[in-house]
Chain A
Amino acid sequence: MKRFMIGAWRWLDDRLGISALVGPSLEHLVPHDARWWYVFGSATLLAFIVQVVTGVGLAFSYTSSSSQAYETLQFITNQAPFGRFLRGMHYFGASAMVLMVGAHMAQTFLFGSYKFPREMNWTTGVLLLAFTLAMGFTGQLLRWDSTATWSVVVAAEQAGRVPVIGNFLAQFILGGTSIGGATLSRFFAIHVFIMPALIFLFIGIHLMLVLRHGIAEPPVAGQVVEPATYRTEYEERMRKTGHPFWPEGAWRDFVVGTGLIVVIALLAYFVGPPKLDAPPDPSNLNADPKPDWYLLWYFALLALIPPQLEGYVMILAPVIIGILLLAAPMLNNRGERAPSRRPWSIAVVLLSVIMIGSLWIEGNNSPWSPNFDPQPLTEKVIGATSGPVFEGARVFQTKGCLNCHLISGDGGRRGPDLSYIGDTLSEGDIVIRIVNGGVNMPAFGSSINPNELTQLTAFLQSRKRPMPAGLEAPQR
């Protein structure tokens, strides 16, 4: 039997050329000291494979029809055997892919691995990052719930700001002039056919380039990249100290990849897929569309930049960032690779992480959004059960002030915390602010009557810090 199997394999291998095809990939020499820092690329590839496998599985039940997609997702999540798990794997696989591609990029940048002769490795990687984010966004839209449909509108609005062709792009995204039958199917085509095809193509090119140029060694201070001599030096080093990729170089990829799949599966099982929002009814206005976590930082950016710059940032920032990323190796493809000799590279990565992280936190909290469902102020917080202060608190709630301002921890965070406003603004200042409005605050002069104004002012004036013990006003 064993002899038969070996014979059959040899016959197949001879006719199909499997060893001839895969052998050089497995046997190519890699630096002996390329260890745990070098696992992110293969982890990204593995996460993509998870996406393909789970995506194909989901496609067996998913219907890309505007009228039925939501119901099929409910079926997949709540009724189909393993459907919830599969959706969870697909979601956390996407998250893993974004994280791993980010880590791979940061490592490549810090190690200066984008320099000669690997410029195109970097460029194809940047395109793969863009395709990954596009997959993430279109994937969120395929959830086709209320958040998804309104996210399509937001995407169309952003595309609309592109000069000259903005309206055309917006309508291309919507599949017409509004959300409807043609909207979902085009995102399905982009998510399931176009983007995966591009990713397969560019992964192929990326891997081919890795084999062609070899894996960059961990950088050593003083060991500079000089295009005239680099290839000779690299080949010499590989001959002396390199290891075959299989098995010496590959086992760490295998360990990390296995761990990654286990983590994705555990999260899918215990946390599960993102909950479906309300059905995709564009007449339901109680929607609060937010992107998934990997684009939340961009959502926050659009809230925080000055409105007069917003259009330019919306259109030009992605273009400039894209050009800078693509051009990075052309601008600096020789010299030192060690981060210790390129401290600015550490600063770039750190600042990027801090910027994206800070924006992510802000986006998660969304302090600029009104709180549409604030807890009513309690009598304890108000400090009165009748009279102008009590009535003023009622006005504070009915006039929407509580939607935007905090009082003792309750309310919105869009405007300043007014818990102690009585300590800082006089009665006259409060009246002027309510009637005329202020920076980023509506004027209520035409929608509040004098009695309500008096009560509201009394309430706000009563918002003072408690006096420290022993400093209370003397009793008369």
Chain B
Amino acid sequence: MAILGIPLVGFVVAPIFRKTTGKWISVGKMTDFEIGKTVTVTVTDPSSLPWAGITAKSALWLRRVSDADFVAFAVNCTHLGCPVRWLQDAELFMCPCHGGVYYSDGTVAAGPPPRPLIRYDVRTVNGQVEVKTMEIPITTTL
């Protein structure tokens, strides 16, 4: 039983323990981003499996707050993970699934989300904006 069971369970759960996040990647030049604007940025997981194809891509919302400051938000609604959309003129993020709404700083404006949008670490290096890759944020509290 153990001869069969241990390798089987180990093989099936192995992807969980594969470290794929926490790498700094460039998302563009600082000059690409306008102050006060929030834009979507596409990143490709640098450690994706070879057959991941298009699913290796992901997105984040990047806002240039001032000349030197950037904030980056996960696109996942903290309610149930659906992709939030940015409405530039309204300056709101809205979620299509259950109607969660967030302000431009990621705080909850309305609806069922239990906490603000999750932020990525952002830094600027030699005129490049870099974000630290992150796992899909999972809300683990009731």
Residues of A at under 8 Å CB distance from B?
A: 65-68, 70, 149-150, 153-154, 156-158, 160-161, 163, 166-168, 170-172, 174-184, 186, 279-290, 299, 302-303, 307, 310-312, 315, 368-370, 372, 398-401, 403, 414, 437, 440-443, 447
Contacts and interface: CB of A to CB of B under 8 A. Distances in A.
B89 A286 contact: no
A119 to B, nearest CB: 31
A172 B139 contact: no
Contacts of B110: 437, 440-442
B83 A287 contact: yes
Contacts of B111: 368, 440
Given A181-B48, A283-B42, A303 B98 contact: yes
A443 B101 CA distance: 11
B3 interface: no
Nearest to B12: A186
A284 B92 CA distance: 18
A187 to B, nearest CB: 13
Contact of A150 (B12, B40, B83, B92): B83
Interface in B74-124: 75-76, 79-85, 87, 89-92, 94, 96-99, 101, 103-104, 109-112, 114
Contact of A285 (B75, B101, B140): B75
Contacts, number: 192
B16 A172 contact: yes
Contact of A282 (B58, B80, B103, B114): B58
Find the residue from B12, B52, B75 having the highest chain A CB count within 10 A: B52
How many interface residues does chain B have, given as a range? Answer: 35 or more
A414 B99 contact: yes
B128 interface: no
Given A67-B55, A303-B99, A442-B101, A176 B15 contact: yes
Given A286-B85, A372-B85, A303 B112 contact: yes
Contacts of B84: 285
Contact of B82 (A161, A170, A289, A403): A289
Find the residue from A67, A166, A280, A299 having the highest chain B CB count within 10 A: A67
A179 B55 contact: yes
A67 B101 contact: no
Given A67-B52, A180-B49, A400 B16 contact: no
Nearest to A152: B81
A314 B76 CA distance: 19
Contacts of A70: 54
B138 A170 contact: yes
A285 B85 contact: yes
Given A153-B136, A176-B18, A307 B112 contact: yes
B39 to A, nearest CB: 11
Contacts of A441: 110
Contact of B98 (A282, A284, A302, A400): A302
A168 B16 contact: yes
A286 B84 CA distance: 9
A68 B50 CA distance: 12
Given A180-B45, A398-B90, A414-B99, A281 B55 contact: yes
Given A369-B97, A370-B99, A441-B110, A315 B142 contact: yes
A279 B97 contact: no
B140 A369 contact: no
A414 B75 CA distance: 21
Contacts of A183: 55
A281 B54 contact: yes
B135 interface: yes
A288 B94 CA distance: 12
A443 B109 contact: yes
A114 B90 CA distance: 57
A401 B87 CA distance: 11
Given A161-B142, A400-B87, A442 B51 contact: no
B136 A302 contact: no
A412 to B, nearest CB: 9
B57 interface: yes
Given A176-B18, A180-B48, A400-B92, A157 B80 contact: yes
Nearest to A395: B89
A312 B141 CA distance: 10
10 contacts: A67-B53, A150-B81, A157-B76, A157-B81, A176-B18, A178-B135, A181-B53, A184-B55, A281-B54, A370-B94
Contact of A158 (B51, B76, B80, B98): B80
B97 A157 contact: no
B59 A287 contact: no
B87 to A, nearest CB: 5
Contacts of B55: 66-67, 149, 179-181, 183-184, 280-282
B76 to A, nearest CB: 7
Given A180-B20, A180-B48, 19 more contacts: A68-B51, A150-B81, A150-B82, A153-B76, A153-B136, A156-B136, A158-B80, A166-B140, A171-B138, A177-B18, A177-B135, A181-B48, A282-B57, A289-B96, A311-B141, A368-B99, A400-B87, A400-B89, A440-B99
